[in-house]
Chains A and B, each alone.
Chain A
């Protein structure tokens, strides 16, 4: 993964979230156009399963990164400055926020049919 002290950590977690969100929204539209499941199936459709799977995968990835950043901020890997520790701490927060946002949005796939 990207170094926990890299300044891109200040954007990475939420950038992943917004890309995932946009792709998920787009994929939903395409899937509903190509192969819409019957409405009576409710949320129990292949589309919802795919959305939930991507949700769990991205949430897991972001939580992993958040943990790595947090550990790097606490333990310090090699000679690092205060600025880099600051970035790692913030990076942990940004990744965690991305994970929460991903999980909360993805949970909606449990509740609603995809194309209705």
Chain B
């Protein structure tokens, strides 16, 4: 018993575990806790890393000597495609997200992420999507068009089998996971920092993850759209990329690289966050230039969206446009350089100690700087043309991605290993692991620059002897096997440390951030009481924080209400605004992801009736998910709070759901803008763009349909405003009325489409309009369903004046849907008319 608080830490822990505990056995599939989900992401990603690495070893074996027949061209094509795909989509992004999901709540002093069921759902989407993709490899029908899937090589004519479909559907499924994690991280960082943690106190890792998550939110939708369009072209014959029918394959390149280049920084920024966390700890002094670092991270995030065309310098675009992207490519080196100099200055002014994580950080600095320098070389158009599609580019991207992501990630892994397990790794094995990997990496890829400069193209399964490529290829292959030995050593160390590692003392590296104030390994609730954090270095300023937290001496240590709770705080000042109550363990995320994987598989085998059934099942599951929410007894069994505490978030207008909705709509908006870009791009650039003589859609009914939708959106907004004023009279009937109005708009839009002259398989023009109509119907349909659901909830008493939270969440969706309608109207009705198209 603690005399000061009158609380018994052991009893408090038992009470918390009753609410927060993780079940075992099959019921472990219901776990939604961020610690478990983060570890699952990292372990699954680690397995895919080994599979991707194995594929690399097979390729290096094949290329070790000229004219080998160890692997044939077809398998080689599948291997290089799957190696890139697995490493980028199934390893790099998921493990970094996993680390972020694991660490962020702990670093900001929260008990969990704000949408725990979404975390679990994202994980299962990732797992099932990855398994679907990997199944193609086992079946010998893996994608073989390169990891960026350029058309026309990947269209139905040149890749007729299901290979490419596996990629398009599997990766889209995995991307749902990435975007959901992105949304969750943004909202959690902004709205659930512990009391007093102002923006300027936030650890740099959180800044990096915030920017990375926002980049995912904006960066992934172009590829999701591209994948949908290409799959529609392959499965339904809608010609977005077919020149003869008015499409353009270059559109695919734009959509892919609009995602693809920011992707590099989506990998680099979390890794840079790891570096910014570890270096000050081992240099034993705060980071130099905190504000400069934040500025550099934000600038990197933005500028990385302005570089995508530098991947397309060889396709024939005007010199001036090339110069813009060349300049932007060089500009992005400046914020990266700022970070680099801040790290060096921190080391220079500190008293560094070289524990194992520091070795990997030094390795990162050497390799990433080299990769950055070759990046600047590639930003220069003439040089870019010279080495285009050669092994030089392969070497560059490995220096950037392995140096900029894998080395810091392993540094972080060693640093947080005691946190995961409560034990320390073996110093000797760890050092062997580092040096073998570092030496092997440079042997492989430094030499590969030369192979590329000697003219060896990438993606060839063999080469003739005597072209000067024999020796460098052999050296690269030897280096590849040395890397494999290094990675094996690291894995061995990690596996053995769980059994033989020395028990770690509290905060073993004398770190400054809050994650070290939890138990090691951490309990599911992270902190039994949530501390104030008015400093950037809580563990340096209050070394006894771990003890005082465990004793319940800080806030929100009551648990008799049976709710999972964490503070909801102001995004800027960190002052407390509400208590956020979080959902507990649930089968719904697992079942929903399972149903979606059935959708994915049924699309793959072209069983569309099964796909429709699976979509309906998914919808029912997701609606059930949203039902157990807000004021539902399953979400908040007891609405009472301690005297002096703020209200539960479900009793306010500004809970995390609203923030989640807005961030989701930002992502959705990025997808819609990509679609508009595609429409305008094809209109302007496609060499055989075909426009019908008459407008395909009747404009007057379209106008009426838009009017009905706008009316519904305005009415919904009015309802929310009245609720804010404390008036909820006839709420249920009003919500039913709004649904009915929306339904009228929906039905009219379907009639307009069915009465139109659109033939979506004939021209790209009609195909894009068809996609816009589908997009609109999807949003309008969901708005109607969500509003009808709210009306039902009013009847149950889950929504009303006392619990207005959910209605406020739905409002932005209506607004967005109405805006999309009018933007589409301008794009497909007004603009062509003004242009003289018909």
Contacts and interface: CB of A to CB of B under 8 A. Distances in A.
Interface string B282-317: 000000000110110011001101100100000000
Given A7-B571, A83-B573, A104 B323 contact: no
B303 A14 contact: yes
B714 interface: no
Most chain B Cβ neighbours within 10 Å, of A83, A87, A100:
A83
Interface stretch (B72-80, B104-112, B324-332): B324-332
Contacts of B200: 82-83, 86
A105 B328 CA distance: 7
Interface residues of A, number: 41
Interface in A61-116: 81-84, 86-87, 89-90, 93-94, 97, 100-101, 104-105, 107-109, 111-116
Contact of A26 (B294, B320, B680): B680
B298 A114 contact: no
Contacts of B331: 100-101, 104-105
A60 B794 CA distance: 53
B572 A87 contact: yes
Interface in A15-63: 15, 17-18, 21, 24-26, 28-30, 32-33, 48
Contacts of B680: 26
Given A30-B684, A33-B685, A82-B200, A25 B299 contact: no
A7 B298 CA distance: 13
B291 A90 contact: yes
Nearest to A96: B295
Given A87-B199, A101-B303, A101-B331, A93 B320 contact: no
B384 to A, nearest CB: 16
A25 B305 CA distance: 13
A56 B684 CA distance: 27
A62 B217 CA distance: 26
A55 B648 CA distance: 49
Nearest to A81: B573
Nearest to A13: B302
Contacts of A107: 327
A115 to B, nearest CB: 5
Contacts of B685: 29, 33
A86 B294 CA distance: 11
B321 interface: yes
B581 to A, nearest CB: 26
B318 interface: yes
A90 B198 contact: no
B330 to A, nearest CB: 8
Contacts of A93: 291-292, 295
Contacts, number: 98
Contacts of A108: 320, 323-324, 327
Contacts of A48: 320
B319 interface: yes
B320 A112 contact: yes
Nearest to B673: A22
Contacts of B295: 90, 93-94, 97
Contacts of A111: 320, 323
A101 B328 contact: yes
Contact of B199 (A86, A94, A105, A113): A86
A53 B572 CA distance: 37
Nearest to A98: B302
A21 B298 contact: no
A114 B319 CA distance: 7
Interface string B323-364: 110011001000100000000000000000000000000000
A33 B684 contact: yes
Q: Which of A33, A84, A86 has the most CB of B within 10 A?
A: A86
Contacts of A32: 318
Contacts of A30: 684
Contact of A83 (B198, B306, B319): B198
Contacts of A26: 680
Contacts of A10: 298
Contacts of B327: 104-105, 107-108
B573 A15 contact: no
A68 B305 CA distance: 26
B198 A21 contact: no
B332 to A, nearest CB: 9
B321 A116 contact: no
20 contacts: A14-B298, A17-B306, A18-B302, A29-B321, A29-B685, A33-B685, A83-B198, A83-B199, A83-B572, A83-B573, A86-B198, A86-B200, A93-B295, A94-B298, A97-B295, A104-B327, A104-B331, A108-B320, A108-B323, A114-B320
Given A21-B328, A97-B299, A112-B319, 14 more contacts: A11-B298, A28-B320, A28-B321, A29-B321, A90-B294, A100-B331, A101-B306, A104-B327, A104-B331, A105-B324, A105-B327, A105-B328, A108-B323, A116-B320
Q: Nearest 7 pairs between A and B by C-beta?
A: A14-B302, A108-B323, A86-B200, A112-B320, A93-B295, A83-B198, A112-B319
